[in-house]
Structure 1
Amino acid sequence: MNAIVTPVPNRAEPLILLSATFIISICGLIYELLAGTLSSYLLGDSVYQFSIVIGLFVSSMGVGSFLSRYMPEPLEQSFTVAQTLTGILGGSSAPLLFFAFTWLDHYNFYLFFICISLGGLVGLEVPLVTRILERHHTLKVNISNVLTIDYIGALAAALLFPLLLMPLLGLMGTSLLFGLLNVSIAIIMIWLFKDRVNVKLLSIIAGTGFIFLSTLLFHSEKILNLMERRLYQAPIIFAETTPYQRLVLTRQQDRFRLYINGGLQFDSFDEYRYHEALVHPVMNLAVRPERILILGGGDGMAAREVLKYSQVQHITLVDLDERVTQLFSENPLLTPLNSFALKNAKVSIINKDAWDFLDDSNDYYDVVIIDLPDPQNSNLSKLYTKEFYSRISSRLTQGGLVVTQATSPFFARSAFWCINNTLDATPSPLREGATLYTQPYHSYVPSFGLWGFVIAGHHQVDWSTFTLPNAVELNYLYPEVLESLIHFSADTAFVNTAINTLQAHPLLDYYQIDSKRWFP
């Protein structure tokens, strides 16, 4: 026997259904954004991942809309079942994809399954709601109302996801919470349509789904930590999703590793090799290294190396993510890694996009150090374009130099030389019709293998004049090492490439092709 409930007046049904449509629309787009974002975090190549997710999702919505004509009566029951299944699958999509990446093979199979299934279920929504509302309004009114609400819901989701949900809940929490919201809508529909649906059967299905998702949400942090620990093969001491990226810090005794979006950023056992190679050549080849700009490098380790030079007057460090600079300036476990550089009076920290900073700045610098992540997506690739380098060259003093990390000349040979060639094609504002001079070089960092760098400036640097001051304490860059850094073997030697520009991002293609060759 069904429980006694208060009947809902017939005139309230359209308002409740349209309100439900608004929530369902938000949930649908959130699932789509979750799949694209999570795949970008785990696999890189955000353009490809979002293109695949959006393409599969939208085309499957079309299939779902087509299949809605075959949904059995009563339509209210079909609609309620569809919402329950959408909530269960959408809510568990992030945990399932994390699990597939860390424990199973064929990640793309599970991604495609989720996108196609969810797209099909979401595609049923508009046709079914429109048909259910037939008893209340004409077709043109129903279509107008349902589509208006649906599109407004999509806008709400697009704003909520980056501004509120990701910073506060992260991927796992957002997925499970909106799954619960979807199932809650199904429960409301059971109550609304109690005289037209199998209340007992639907209550069991929806109730089971709600309990399942609630359990996952309650244990979501433990589940995420378990998966990430398997992924990173070390105890995790810090993990947080910021508005910009996923940060994970691991520790094994006195060894620290920082990962951003799943990619290793440094290993405390050998990071000095990378940072000494990045900083000291340019500091000794610049004419007067007094005012320094560091783009990226929020861990403070490049600043640590710069501060070894007494002539440095000021360092401006620009890093997009405030959480990174806060972590490495305040955490007592991490501040010794950069010798408390971010607390030094000579260092000013600005949390801002590097491109925007250069557009707004009127200052000139003797040395610019670019310590940004690899160009694995279009947002990062734009920071390796001719247009970006032109902004930097206009901020260099006459004897100033810029250095950038440039990926691996071995594992990403074409990408490395593309960065060099793009800098080489960047106009020099001090010499009409001329471009920047470049000096490519490399260093061996055990955690990353052979790693490349490029120095560029208005004047040609003479590597043979490069000597290291005795007062500067180093662990790797001894004089006998310096000469070897500018010599490239046959398998890393120069290759001709296209120039990386905002109009076209050949660097992104080079990087992805090279990466897939070594890490398929």
Structure 2
Amino acid sequence: MSTGGEGRGDSPPDPPPNPTEFLSREEEGAFDRRGAVLWLLSATLVVSVAGLIYELIAATVSAYLLGDTIRQFSFVIGIFLASMGVGAWASRFVVDPVAGFVRAQVGLGVIGGVAALATFFAYATVGAVALPLYGALVAVGLLSGMEIPLLARVLKEIGAARFRFENVLSVDYLGALVASLSFPVLIVPNLSLISAGLAFGLLNLAVAGGTLWLFRDRLGWADRGAWGGAFALVAGLLAFAVPLGAAIDARLYEDEIVYSDRSAHQQVTVTRHRGRTRLYLDGAVQFDTADEARYHEFLVHPAMSVAPRRARVLILGGGDGMAVREVLRWDPEEVVLVDLDPAVVALFRDRDDLSALNGDALRDGRLRIVHADAFTWIREGEDAFDVAILDLPDPRNLSLSRLYSVEFYRLLRRRLSAQGVVVTQAGSPMFASDAFWMVARTMETEWDVTAYANYVPSFGLWGFALGVPPGLRSDLRDLPEGLDVLTPEAFAAAQVFDAQIGPRDGPVNRLSDHALPRAYEAGWSEWFE
């Protein structure tokens, strides 16, 4: 009597797979299966780390060159994951998984390795970002998506004991954890984005080289030659990464670069031309010594003038020390500077030629420097201040928008004395009028607000919002001697807005909706896109 499917006329069951069917009889004895399994699982970890690092580099480059960190990280993650999905699906059409895996590693080493370099070069020469950045991202995503399916097939073919696909995925996810922790802690503080990309390109090529050696009897000279050429290219570019980066910076900034490095938080660049010094953070100019007084005098002195007391002053942002310099003209007892990036503060405190620009203000004994997130520091601290000066970056993303929200101003109000005064830079009433007036309206939930603006050639028409307790006069009284720009008459004129950019109604900015970044982006896009 027949049993099973054969008795019903079905085809016989498939025979158990021969784990070494792709090897010749001589190779079966020589092939080290245990070493191969260990190598391939280690390769899974390495390629997972490299793939996520490429994604993080692409997102950082995108945010640096295009702005709006939240949007750019979201776009990069979505495009990368979608491309990985397509790559995983396409891997089924690869006939030889070993050759496919090696070729994917060579492609990743070259494309992923040079992506940041190519994007910066394209931006510096022709102003293009999207094509090199997202083109490379799609290619890296496709090749990265192929890796795990191909590795799993190779492990299964060589007869890995008790092979389970979820074990490969576990190693892959562990690699993602390693990459996500090492990128902000180790890679960004110690390597430029260009060098980091090329270094991880070499890692992919090292995996390809090891796999070529392990399966040397299966892969031909064409694959070895392609690997050798790719390795020489990426290694050569890495060796010259510093001068290449300097050459790109020179094209980006035109002026002589006296300092350029990436801190843990941002790209910091200082240029000089004909005695004028400029500071750029992530490519955006922060000050030009030719006109910085037009910004800093209007930011600091109206608040200091109208404040009944000026003994303890808080400055949020302003790590270059220019705002501190202006505050010290009023001879306060203590100034607390809260700035997230210690690299900027150290640069303008410790380097004599740059410290001279702020009058050695960051070396003053009355100054206490704190490196912390401003929102967290305000929320958790207890010290009270007479004046708060907010020299913060523009609210171009959700993280910065917090510092212009109803909730933040409510926390800040609790850190001020009963007659405490606050002022913030509020962006351009010309280029982002809706955003400017939204900042003023949001401040009005806690203070009486005076909005004003002054022309700063480096920025255009630039606005500020001064908040005082109800009943306190906001007209200027005494001013320190030696100011270059600000006078009581100039301050009164700065409060006059024409009909095109004048006061506007609308919502306030809350953490629950973050209306401000949308208004900011819409305004600047209308003018410059």
- TM-score (normalised: structure 1): 0.94
Deviation at 1:136, TM superposition (A): 4.5
Residue number in structure 1 paired with 2:393: 373
Q: Does 1:67 align with 2:63?
A: no
Residue number in structure 1 paired with 2:23: none
Of 26, 34, 37, 2:57 maps to: 34
Deviation at 1:459, TM superposition (A): 2.2
Contact 1:133–1:142 (8 Å) recurs in 2: no
Map 1:219-368 to 2 at 5 A: 219-310=240-331, 312-368=332-388
Deviation at 1:497, TM superposition (A): 2.6
Residue number in structure 2 paired with 1:119: 141
Letter in 2 for 1:229: A
Map 1:474-493 to 2 at 5 A: 474-493=483-502
Deviation at 1:139, TM superposition (A): 11
Deviation at 1:235, TM superposition (A): 0.9
CA distance in structure 2 between the aligned counterparts of 1:31 and 1:134, rounded to whole angstroms:
28
Q: Does 1:513 align with 2:522?
A: yes
Consecutive unaligned residues in structure 2, runs of 5 or more: 1-28
Contact 2:115–2:132 (8 Å) recurs in 1: no
Q: CA RMSD in A?
A: 1.7
Q: Report the count of equivalent residues.
A: 502
CA distance in structure 1 between the aligned counterparts of 2:364 and 2:157, rounded to whole angstroms:
71
CA distance in structure 2 between the aligned counterparts of 1:275 and 1:441, rounded to whole angstroms:
14
Consecutive unaligned residues in structure 1, runs of 5 or more: 1-5, 426-434
Name segments (4+ residues, structure 1) moved above 6 Å: none
Deviation at 1:457, TM superposition (A): 2.9
CA distance in structure 1 between the aligned counterparts of 2:471 and 2:84, rounded to whole angstroms:
58
Contact 1:292–1:368 (8 Å) recurs in 2: yes
Residue number in structure 1 paired with 2:439: 419
Residue number in structure 2 paired with 1:432: none
Q: Does 1:437 align with 2:448?
A: yes
Deviation at 1:377, TM superposition (A): 1.8
CA distance in structure 1 between the aligned counterparts of 2:177 and 2:202, rounded to whole angstroms:
21
Residue number in structure 1 paired with 2:469: 458
Contact 2:115–2:136 (8 Å) recurs in 1: yes
Structure (1 or 2) with the larger CA radius of gyration: 2
Residue number in structure 2 paired with 1:110: 132
Residue number in structure 2 paired with 1:175: 197
Residue number in structure 2 paired with 1:430: none
Residue number in structure 2 paired with 1:216: 237
Question: Are the structure 2 counterparts of residues 8 and 370 from structure 1 closer, same or farther at C-alpha, using a change threshold of 3 Å?
Answer: farther
Letter in 2 for 1:455: L
Q: Secondary structure at the match of 2:353?
A: coil
Contact 1:439–1:461 (8 Å) recurs in 2: no
CA distance in structure 2 between the aligned counterparts of 1:98 and 1:478, rounded to whole angstroms:
44
Q: C-alpha offsets along residues 366-413 of structure 1, whole Å, 9 cap, x if unaligned?
A: 000000111122221111111111111011111111100000000111
Q: Does 1:194 align with 2:205?
A: no
CA distance in structure 1 between the aligned counterparts of 2:359 and 2:353, rounded to whole angstroms:
11
Question: Are the structure 2 counterparts of residues 368 and 194 from structure 1 closer, same or farther at C-alpha, using a change threshold of 3 Å?
Answer: same
Deviation at 1:50, TM superposition (A): 1.1
Residue number in structure 2 paired with 1:431: none
CA distance in structure 2 between the aligned counterparts of 1:7 and 1:320, rounded to whole angstroms:
58
Contact 2:90–2:146 (8 Å) recurs in 1: yes
Of 170, 178, 186, 1:148 maps to: 170
Deviation at 1:41, TM superposition (A): 0.7
Of 10, 35, 39, 2:33 maps to: 10
CA distance in structure 2 between the aligned counterparts of 1:217 and 1:7, rounded to whole angstroms:
37
Question: Among the aligned pairs, what percent are the same residue?
Answer: 41
CA distance in structure 1 between the aligned counterparts of 2:270 and 2:30, rounded to whole angstroms:
55
CA distance in structure 1 between the aligned counterparts of 2:194 and 2:464, rounded to whole angstroms:
37
Letter in 1 for 2:76: V
CA distance in structure 2 between the aligned counterparts of 1:478 and 1:226, rounded to whole angstroms:
43
Residue number in structure 2 paired with 1:391: 411
Deviation at 1:8, TM superposition (A): 5.0
